[in-house]
Chain A
């Protein structure tokens, strides 16, 4: 099925450990995004990539790095995890629908706990 695939679905880290969240889309979308979702905070944009070869900071980029590996893949790296980064992370990509709407398609989410 076409869509956005992100891995892992669950991860527990200790403070200071590093990890990379992987995301891939097969819809030939140019733009990709990483959001985090915390209770009562809605979805906040961490980083985005408007097109292959470009990345930009969103609302809450501190403590994260990203790589747009190719058109399909956009990874999010935590170099030194902190308890404040405990969250659910969503990858998304966007593309034009037939209706003309530029729509976000989200992955299933990655639940990260930092102890």
Chain B
């Protein structure tokens, strides 16, 4: 898999505030995926981005892939307590799915 850096490592927000996490790579990525892991749970696939400049939405979540395919972002509008967890953006590199995960961004939402 290709290595990406994710920032911030931690984010605390009040419920209702927006939240954004960023993933950056020094090399062009073939694709990027996003996973969410709830506290005490396992990572769950959210979405994959493949095309340059791609934007995908899932309810309050907006995913973007940069024009140069070197960065990606996840934006959550009006956070809820159910958004709590760690968000990962592993990048692809093999045809069979091997992915390299970084530290992720740990999101805490205060009610």
Contacts and interface: CB of A to CB of B under 8 A. Distances in A.
Chain A binding surface SS class: strand
B103 A45 contact: no
Interface residues of A, number: 28
B59 interface: no
A18 B102 CA distance: 29
A102 interface: yes
A31 B42 contact: no
Query: Which of the four size classes fits the interface of chain B?
Result: 20 to 34
B101 A31 contact: no
Nearest to B47: A101
A95 B43 CA distance: 16
Interface in B6-47: 31, 33, 35, 41-45
A13 interface: no
A109 B97 contact: no
Interface stretch (A35-43, A61-69, A76-84): A35-43
18 contacts: A30-B96, A33-B98, A35-B101, A42-B101, A43-B104, A48-B98, A50-B94, A50-B98, A90-B42, A94-B96, A101-B31, A101-B33, A102-B97, A103-B45, A104-B33, A107-B42, A108-B41, A109-B41
Interface of B: 31, 33, 35, 41-45, 48, 50, 88, 92, 94-104
What 7 A-B pairs come out closest when comparing CB atoms? A94-B97, A101-B48, A43-B101, A102-B97, A42-B103, A106-B42, A31-B96
Given A31-B97, A50-B96, A94-B96, 12 more contacts: A31-B98, A33-B98, A35-B101, A41-B103, A42-B88, A99-B48, A100-B50, A102-B95, A103-B33, A106-B43, A106-B44, A108-B41
